[in-house]
Amino acid sequence: MDLVTGGAGFVGSHLARRLMEKGRDVRVFDIEKSPYLPEGVDFVQGDMRDYQAVRKAAKGAEVVYHLAFVQSLSKRPESEKWQVNFGGTENFLRAAVENEVKRFVFTSTIEVYSPFPPFRAPETAPSDRPFGWYGRHKKACEELCWHYHYQYNLPVAMMRMPTICGRGYYARIDLVRAFDWILAGRQDRMDRRQAVQRRFCLG
């Protein structure tokens, strides 16, 4: 059985659906349901700061895909975001060890590289200047994953993901429209590189 934390969200629901299409039994853990949960998924509602809820969700899991995280546009106080992000991640790592999970997959971010991630970015690229609270939290959780790997022999994999957007219910509709314009050739006399740079402040 695969556990997808944050599986009611944009990326998580797509991941849960794809896993089910591959014949996997899937459980989703999230703070609340959404209409985008795939039909037939096993849903566990809870706050990842609650270890007992986390422990219940992780029971029987072979792989944990940990996507649950307070998103970068959140207006919560940073202390609360830290409790959810770091404390919740540690709860899932602890539960993964307790349940002898075969692999723990943590979704990190390219913001661990600073506002201007290198291209291309090998695993050895410097990550000592993470961008903003979101980058700092992700970087701290990466280090926590390594601790559980070395201390408890937990197999971990970490993916430093870029901005992800698409049709549906993702809040950054401006990004979706920008890509639509680029794909349709409507750059308003800007070449593709200039359009992307101005739209996303990449340089």
Query: Do the Cβ atoms of 22 and 1 come closer than 8 Å?
Result: no
The count of other CB atoms within 10 Å of the CB of residue 60 is 12
In the residue annotation, 113 being an active-site residue is answered as no
d(CA 168, CA 159): 23
Which stretch of DSSP H or E encloses residue 63? Answer: strand 63-66
Task: Quickly tell me which residue has 């690229």 as its tokens.
Answer: 125
Q: Which residues pair with 131 in a beta bridge?
A: none
Half-sphere exposure of 50 (CA within 13 A, CB side): 11
Catalytic residue among 36, 134, 148, 150: 134
Q: Which residues are catalytic?
A: 134
